[in-house]
Homo-oligomer: A and B are copies of this chain.
Amino acid sequence: MSFRPRLECWFEFASTYSYVGVMRAMNGATRAAVDLVWKPFLLGPLFRSQLGIQDSPFNVHPIRGRYMWRDLERLCEKYGFPFKRPTVFPRHSVLVSRVAIVGAEEPWGPDFIQSVFGANFAEDREISDPSVVAALLDLCGVVPEPVLEKARSKDLKAKLSAQTEQAANLGIFGAPNFIAKDELFFGQDRLDDAIAWALR
C-alpha cells in the first residue's frame, strides 16, 4: 500500500487531447512523485446521452474540429510528442479500453496505454484491429492471447461499462480528466493544477 499522493486519470483512447494529457501525466506524475491511477472509459455513451450526438463533437462541429487538429499539432510540437493525423477519427476504442482495464493492476499497463496512443495518433494504426492490439501487447512483453481472451470476457465488458457509468456519475463530459482528492479537473491543460491539488 502506497502513501504517496494519488491522481486518477480518466481518459478515452479515441480522444486527441487524451493523447497529450496521458503522455504529459506520465512525465509530470513521475517528477512530482504522484501515483497515477488509470481509468479508461468510453466517451461515446456520454456524448449520446449528454449531447444527443453519435460522433465526436469535433466532427459534428467542423469549426471546432479544424481548430482542434491545429491545436493538437502545436501541443505535440511543444511537448515533443510525435504526431501524425489519423486517417480515421474517432477510432473504436472498446477493445483497447478493455485490455487497459485488464492491465490496470499489471506492470505492463502504462506501457500498453502509451503504445495505443502512439499507434493511434503518431502512427495512424487501426487500434480497433485485434491484430494491431496483439502486436502492441507483444511489444510490451505480454503474451497477447490470454489477455485478449480476458478482455473479451463478460466480466471485462461489465467492468468497462461500469467505469463509463462511473465517469458520468462523477460529472465527466469529455476527456482527459484528472481527479485529485475528489476534485475534478477537465482537460490536459489542468494537469499541473491537478498535481498541485494532489500534493496539497
Contact = CB atoms under 8 A, between A and B. Distances in A.
Interface of A: 50-51, 61, 63-64, 66-67, 70-71, 74, 78, 171, 173, 184-187, 189-190, 193
A64 B193 CA distance: 19
Please list the 4 inter-chain residue pairs (A to B) with the smallest Cβ-Cβ separation, ordered nearest first.
Answer: A189-B189, A63-B173, A64-B173, A63-B171
Q: Which secondary structure dominates where chain A touches chain B? A: helix
A185 B70 CA distance: 10
B78 A173 contact: no
A184 B51 contact: no
B67 A171 contact: yes
A193 B74 contact: yes
20 contacts: A50-B61, A50-B63, A51-B61, A61-B173, A63-B171, A63-B173, A64-B173, A66-B171, A67-B171, A67-B173, A67-B184, A67-B186, A70-B184, A71-B185, A71-B186, A71-B190, A74-B193, A78-B193, A187-B189, A189-B189
Contacts of A187: 189
Contacts of A173: 61, 63-64, 67
A70 to B, nearest CB: 8
A60 to B, nearest CB: 10
